Amino acid sequence: MALDSKEVVWQQSIVSKEKRLQLNRHKSFIIWLTGLSGAGKSTIATNLEFQLHQSGIRTYLLDGDNIRHGLCKDLGFRPEDRQENIRRVSEIAKLFVDAGQVVVTALISPYITDREMARNLVNEDEFVEVYVKCPLYECERRDPKGLYQKARSGMIPNFTGISAPYEEPLAAEVVVESDKQTVEESVKQILGYLREANLL
């Protein structure tokens, strides 16, 4: 039985977010990579986190597949499951921001409303949406996990881009075109934005 909201009280920590930021000596925020399966989100996110780490930034990567191995292994891919998946990841990302760290997420996150929900959990300057843009035909050509082939044959229902929609970001802070740019160029572009925005 779920507890009534009146029975659940937020426990305030003695160590504030500001104190954590002072200790870490950098700002904390979310870098949210979104895009179709096969667009290159995980590869870009992994290399981005490495570059940040090399620069002395405390980071953590929340990859969509990794999350579904544990925290969200009970969820499927229906719209309501996808929404709950993003809600859980968003709440975790918010905790990392409070912990004073930079969290990089790599999730398809196909719905605009879900990404906006994630954005609204933190301050305006603590969320950077990165659209890893790649044409569907190129994602299908790559098909690193063989998922598009299975989706086309009907083996995977509710597959984003085939039998389920992907809503492109309307105003992402960064758009990288992974069919035209190398991983290194994409990471450099994201880092360039972070510096221009005075986040690094």
The residues assigned a catalytic role are: 109
Beta-carbon contacts of 178 under 8 Å, excluding residues fewer than 6 positions away, are 35, 39, 40, 44, 132, 133, 134, 186
Q: Which ranges constitute the DSSP H helices of 55-78? A: 64-67
Answer positive or negative: Cα dihedral of 190, 192, 193, 199.
positive
Answer positive or negative: Cα dihedral of 144, 145, 148, 149.
positive
Residue 18's identity, in one-letter code, is E
Torsion of CA 95, 84, 135, 139, to 10 degrees: 90
Torsion of CA 84, 87, 89, 93, to 10 degrees: -170
The edge-to-edge listing of strands for the beta sheet with 174-177 is: 59-63, 102-106, 29-34, 127-133, 174-177
